[in-house]
């Protein structure tokens, strides 16, 4: 597995990460045993970055990772935790909490659930509009000084917010949606990351399973997450399926699957990009890892661009009410 540096002065980590969210809900029920086997297979393949959030399964995801890392595997992993997203007992999203004391409190619980003394990358899941972001980052910087956190990341932040955060403490990575269907970051955010020397951790590479040979099955599966993704709506899905089929044709010509083409395309956008593989089964992980052997030529990239021009996708990446609260969607 190729290693890359996470940010200009950051640590060396695997060139792809394993996103563990789906192992604890969002995409329907998961099999814990298979999820743990998937984490083990990822470590065996040389993946170090395991991405989680304290609200994934309301702590269950962190406990699953703890279980998977038992027996001396903790040091082989680079654990990235997101925090601050609040849910009610009915799991409805309540907003975000970026207060300094809340950040420290969230971290204390995460360390206990993960069974570790430190988190490798700690990141506010969203920018809390009611708290100066400098204060949130400052609190995490305190935790770096105290040894509980190794590196600081942010998620779904705008270019302007990235600059503010980076002025308080070096930011190693921005986690944000980036795929053939979600290219909004190319305008301001990606150039800012490169200017500041911050790595990009890309999620949603398959647009929630849409850019895959299993798009129809994904659409029909019970999934709370996909109900928040307009690209799966009755109105948009057929149009998007036509795009996915066009990509599938290119993939087949390369001897690859559609998902592999999607991962290879994101990798082709720069060595500073770490795509997250949202696998919860070993066969999905194997398929995604196969993308590392898919090399796209300038001719392939031109064909892909023609099949899926920027903004060709029908529907935004989230519902408007969700996007309205995302700092990354605001100019600057």
Segment lying near ligand NAP (by CB under 6 A), choices 3-11, 180-188, 276-284, 292-300: 276-284
Of 208, 198, 205, the closest CA to residue 155 belongs to 198
Is residue 122 flagged as an active site residue?
no
Contact region with ligand NAP (CB under 6 A), list: 4-12, 13-21, 157-165, 235-243 = 13-21
For residues 190 and 326, give the distance between their C-alpha atoms in angstroms, rounded to a whole number. Answer: 17
- Out of 56, 148, 203, 318, the active site residue is 56
Binding of ligand NAP at residue 184 (CB under 6 A)?
A: no
221 binds ligand NAP (CB under 6 A): yes
Q: Which of 105, 141, 214, 329 binds ligand NAP (CB under 6 A)?
A: 214
Q: Given candidates 21, 137, 172, 304, which one binds ligand NAP under the rule CB under 6 A?
A: 21
CA gap 43, 325 in Å, rounded: 35
The gap between the terminal CA atoms of the chain, to the nearest Å, is 36
Indicate whether 124 belongs to the interface with ligand NAP (CB under 6 A). Answer: no
By C-alpha distance, which of 259, 153, 277, 150 is closest to 203?
A: 277
Interface residue with ligand NAP, options 38, 212, 240, 328 (CB under 6 A)? 212
Beta bridge partners of 152: 122, 171
3-state class (DSSP) for residue 179: strand
Q: How far is the CB of 298 from ligand NAP (least distance, A)?
A: 25
Question: For strand 85-87 and strand 49-53, is the pairing parallel, antiparallel, or unpaired?
Answer: unpaired
Which has the closest alpha carbon to 189: 90, 66, 273? 273
Residue 219, interface with ligand NAP (CB under 6 A)?
Answer: no
278 binds ligand NAP (CB under 6 A): yes
Q: At what angle do helices 32-44 and 282-290 cross, to 10 degrees?
A: 30
Q: CB-wise, 14 or 212, nearer to ligand NAP? A: 212
Build a one-symbol-per-residue string for 23-42: x at contacts with ligand NAP by CB under 6 A, - elsewhere.
----x---------------
Instruction: Single out the residue of 4, 16, 20, 247 in contact with ligand NAP (rule: CB under 6 A).
Output: 20
Q: Shortest CA distance to 133 belongs to which of 159, 104, 100?
A: 100
Strands 119-124 and 93-96, sheet pairing:
unpaired
Closest CA to 152 of 179, 133, 124: 124
Is 175 near ligand NAP (CB under 6 A)? yes
- Closer to ligand NAP at the Cβ: 206 or 251? 206
Q: 171 pairs with which residues across the strands? A: 152
Contact between 156 and ligand NAP by CB under 6 A: the answer reads: yes
Cβ contact 191:163 at 8 Å:
no
Task: CB nearer to ligand NAP: give 71 or 201.
Answer: 201
128 is an interface residue for ligand NAP by CB under 6 A = no
The span of 142-150, 207-215, 302-310, 311-319 binding ligand NAP (CB under 6 A) equals 207-215
Residue 61 engages ligand NAP in binding (rule: CB under 6 A): no
CB 291 within 8 A of CB 260: yes
List the one residue from 287, 294, 317, 327 that touches ligand NAP (CB under 6 A).
287
C-alpha 215: how far from chain center:
19
Cα 82–158–15 angle (5° rounding)? 55
Using CB under 6 A as the criterion, what x/- string covers residues 71-100 for binding ligand NAP? -----------x------------------
Residues of the shown chain interacting with ligand NAP in the complex, contacts defined by CB under 6 A: 19-22, 27, 51, 82, 155-156, 175, 203-209, 212, 214, 218, 221, 259, 276-280, 284, 287-288
What amino acid positions are annotated as catalytic residues?
A: 56
């Amino acid at each position: 597995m190729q290693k890359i540096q996470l940010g200009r002065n950051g640590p060396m980590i695997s060139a792809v990460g394993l996103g563990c969210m789906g192992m604890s809900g969002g995409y329907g029920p998961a099999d814990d045993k298979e999820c743990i086997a998937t984490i083990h297979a990822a470590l065996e393949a040389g993946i170090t970055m395991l991405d989680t959030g304290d609200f994934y399964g309301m702590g269950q995801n962190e406990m699953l990772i703890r279980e998977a890392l038992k027996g001396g595997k903790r040091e082989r992993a680079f654990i990235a935790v997101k925090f601050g997203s609040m849910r009610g007992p009915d799991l409805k999203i309540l907003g975000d909490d970026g207060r300094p004391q809340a950040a420290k409190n969230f971290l204390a619980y995460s360390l206990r659930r993960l069974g570790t003394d430190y988190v490798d990358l700690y990141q506010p899941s969203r920018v809390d509009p009611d708290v100066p972001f400098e204060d949130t980052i400052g609190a995490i910087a305190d935790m770096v000084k105290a040894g509980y956190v190794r590196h600081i990341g942010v998620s779904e932040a705008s270019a302007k917010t990235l600059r503010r955060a980076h002025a308080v403490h070096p930011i190693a990575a921005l986690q944000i949606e980036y795929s053939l269907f979600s290219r909004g970051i190319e305008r301001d955010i990606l150039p800012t990351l490169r200017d500041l020397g911050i790595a990009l951790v890309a999620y949603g590479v398959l647009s929630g399973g849409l850019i895959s040979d299993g798009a129809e099955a994904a659409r029909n599966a019970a999934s709370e997450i996909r109900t928040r993704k307009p690209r799966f709506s009755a109105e948009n899905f057929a149009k998007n399926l036509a795009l996915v089929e066009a990509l599938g044709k290119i993939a087949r010509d390369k001897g690859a699957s559609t998902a592999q083409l999607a991962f290879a395309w994101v990798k082709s956008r720069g060595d500073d990009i770490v795509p997250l593989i949202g696998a919860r089964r070993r066969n999905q992980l194997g398929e995604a890892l196969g993308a590392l052997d898919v090399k796209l030529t300038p001719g392939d990239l031109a064909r892909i661009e023609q099949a899926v021009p920027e903004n060709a996708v029908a529907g935004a990446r989230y519902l408007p009410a969700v996007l309205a609260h995302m700092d990354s969607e605001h100019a600057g």
